[in-house]
Structure 1
Amino acid sequence: MDRKFAQRKRDLERECQVSHQVFSAAAKRLERFMEPFLTNYRRHEQAAHATTVVRGFCSDLQHKNGESIAYLFGLDRKAIQHFLGESQWQDTPLREELAKQIGSELGEFDGVIAFDPSAFVKSGQQSVGVARQWCGRLGKIDNCQVGIYMAYVSSQGHALVDTQLYLPQEWTSDQKRMRRASVPKARRRHKTRHEICLELLDQHGQDLPHAWITGDDEMGRPSRFRRELRDPDERYLLAVPCNTTIRDLEVPPPPWCGTGRPPQQQSVRVDRWLEERTDQDWTSIEVRDAEQRPLIVEVLKRCVETGKRSLLSVTEEVLVVIRYRDREAKIVKTDYYLSNAEVTTPLAEYCRAAKAEHRVEECLQRAKGQAGLVDYEVRNWTGWQHHQTLCLLANWFLIVETRRAEKKDTCDNIESSAFGNRFDSSKGVRMRFTPERQMADRTTTASQSTSTPVSLETT
């Protein structure tokens, strides 16, 4: 038995060996992948450093900072560190090109744009944007930086599109501190996290065909943010905290005695409102196939009224509640969402959008674990943005390579890159997303069968 096991082990080890030619071909594809991005660099040295840094982010280095990448390729560390932290090259055109490629490769008319803040724990006070603020990674208020990330999700895959560093008020009120951190003048005005999301949406929304905007409960909590999404006719499904107050419009108001003002429905916390629901109010939806058994969630929706009447912010929205059970049928998680979609929207479509909201976490984990998103060693604004931008490019290249290995790339030439296949009309992907087409797509989506919308699964 031991000899057979040893022989089988040797056979498996031989099968796991990868020829160096595989990585050599990948390096050539990386060079072609970088070509549309390198046109934004004025100097040849900058273009060469950008390719080197992206190669380093895609490597198996344990710490993917400028110094480690320089030593990996036998280069002067000061040159790479200066390129990342001080060199005055514009990273915005690179992220714009990235958004166009993601929209071309992954774009579908019913795609989802997801926003999520992500915190980076820091011990000092000199790094740009560092302050005591909520850190989701630790689950408490601590010293950290917070980046606002925009991701795109469709049945073709999911990827990070863009990011921007959040600057707390204690930073924007200290102009001297902002100058020391090399924050551009255009970024020195305080912007809330929700304003940053709207800015990113305005910048890339036309390049990413989508039918939904999603985000976690930090994004969905302010009613103002939901209102500002309704104004440009964006359809959202945003998570909200369990203490959000609602008024159930499907429950008749208390009887009127005939004198005074007619009584109105009282506001109630959404978690307390949920306690009065019965099993008949829930609908089971099969979300995806799992290893042990299909993943089934229970969903309900209700037309509700939100906002304070005294502030004239009353709005009719759709409350969507999704709960999950474990193998013993115990409820392990309950998520609350508010949406401005039509109340006739199928429950399966709400589930599909809710699933996409969780994909941004997978995007961040992949970028942090594979592309060095958290390995930066810079303190100023320029270095943070440069590191993040090149990490997003490396992360996108890894996704392109994965799709190529899984034969999801429809090109005939196996050596081609995402950019070379970008304008292939045979894919049937719409590159621009106009409000007129958005309304037509929504009508089509609402009329589709509920058996297909839940197919948004790429892992």
Structure 2
Amino acid sequence: MDVERDRGTSESHFAAFVEMLSSAVGHSDRAAPLRAYCAGLILPGERKSVEPMAARVEPTRVQAAHQSLHHFVAKAGWSDEAVMAKVRTHALAMIERHGPIRAWIIDDTGFPKKGVHSVGVSRQYCGQLGKQDNCQIAVSLSVANDHASLPIAYRLYLPQVWADDPARRAKAGVPDDIVFRTKPQIALDQVRTAQAQGVAPGVVLADAGYGVDTTFRTGLTKVGLAYVVGVQSSMSLWPPGVSPRAQPRTMSLLPETSLAS
């Protein structure tokens, strides 16, 4: 009985959560595919692409479910940023009951891919594999306290080979206003947006992939955020209040040479 009661409670919580998200996807016709998509993401199964998710969610009408999910993901005009804002408003209040936000965590996540047609797929370093390979990369910003963490921004990184290829962009449906931006540039945009939206501040944490970027670190200082980031061992450092000093120029004197006839 306890199992049945817990299952019913989980299902009711899931239904309420999806209903809350539905207001962020616009037209009411998108509520059903949103529910199916969310269910597909949390159900067992390694592959989370549309077709296998449709088979798990509605095994008796896979083709129709696949078409509905594909349209929702690839064609429907809803904003992922609006959905994430809804999630943030809902979840952050519960997280902050256990204490104030202490950190903003910047990271990127690699998704290994076999093909070359998914947007942003390129041969690049994939943290999930620990090596260079064919993958997509997404940059994320999460906020955290001692109790939990919550992703509040998430954006696909578009490599320059994609950004500079009009035919490839057109075939994949990449909007014209999406241009090449480095991962630190994307992360700094996410930080500025979170500040503008009134997210409680925290110390920014990032690995050396971001920490070595001087413009990124300077940008964090300009918006008033402290940071702890990874750097390379070759980086030069100066104490607070001390500026880099130009090295004195030295002149080398060449020894006289004699010419032999």
Q: Do Structure 1 and Structure 2 share a fold, with TM-score over 0.5?
A: yes
Aligned-partner SS, 2:181: coil
Q: Deviations over 1:264-323 (max 9, x none)?
A: xxxxxxxxxxxxxxxxxxxxxxxxxxxxxxxxxxxxxxx6968x656xxxxxxxxxxxxx
Identical residues among aligned pairs (%): 23
> Which residue number corresponds to residue 96 of structure 1?
85
Give the conservation status (yes or no) of the 8 Å contact 1:215–1:238. Answer: yes
User: Residue 50 in 1 paired to residue 34 in 2?
Assistant: yes
Q: How far apart, in 2, do the equivalents of 1:19 and 1:158 lie? A: 28
Tell me which of 73, 76, 83 is aligned to 2:72: 83
Aligned-partner SS, 1:146: strand
- TM-fit CA distance, 1:203: 1.9
Q: How far apart, in 1, do the equivalents of 2:103 and 2:192 lie? A: 15
Q: Deviations over 1:23-63 (max 9, x none)?
A: 22211111111223211233333111111211222222343
**1:69 aligned partner, one-letter code:** M
User: Residue 199 in 1 paired to residue 183 in 2?
Assistant: no
Scaled by the length of structure 2, the TM-score of the pair is 0.81
**2:225 aligned partner, one-letter code:** E
What RMSD, in angstroms, separates the aligned Cα atoms of the two structures? Answer: 2.4
User: Residue 158 in 1 paired to residue 149 in 2?
Assistant: yes
Q: How far apart, in 1, do the equivalents of 2:235 and 2:88 lie? A: 34
Give the conservation status (yes or no) of the 8 Å contact 1:103–1:208. Answer: no
Instruction: Flag the structure with more relative contact order, 1 or 2, with Cα contacts below 8 A and sequence separation at least 6.
Output: 1
> Which residue number corresponds to residue 212 of structure 2?
221
1:54-203 → structure 2 map (5 Å cutoff) = 54-74=38-58, 75=61, 76=64, 77-107=66-96, 108-187=99-178, 189-203=179-193
Aligned-partner SS, 2:105: strand
Scaled by the length of structure 1, the TM-score of the pair is 0.48
**2:212 aligned partner, one-letter code:** R
1:5-404 → structure 2 map (5 Å cutoff) = 19-74=3-58, 75=61, 76=64, 77-107=66-96, 108-187=99-178, 189-205=179-195, 206-247=197-238, 249=239, 309=245
**2:71 aligned partner, one-letter code:** H
- CA 1:63–1:131: 2 relative to 1, 3 Å: closer
Specify every segment of 5 or more residues in structure 1 that has no aligned partner in the other structure, as ranges.
1-16, 250-302, 311-459
Q: How far apart, in 2, do the equivalents of 1:182 and 1:309 lie? A: 50
Aligned-partner SS, 1:203: helix
- TM-fit CA distance, 1:212: 0.7
- TM-fit CA distance, 1:225: 0.8
Specify every segment of 5 or more residues in structure 2 that has no aligned partner in the other structure, as ranges.
247-261
Aligned-partner SS, 2:177: helix
Q: How far apart, in 2, do the equivalents of 1:63 and 1:123 lie? A: 13
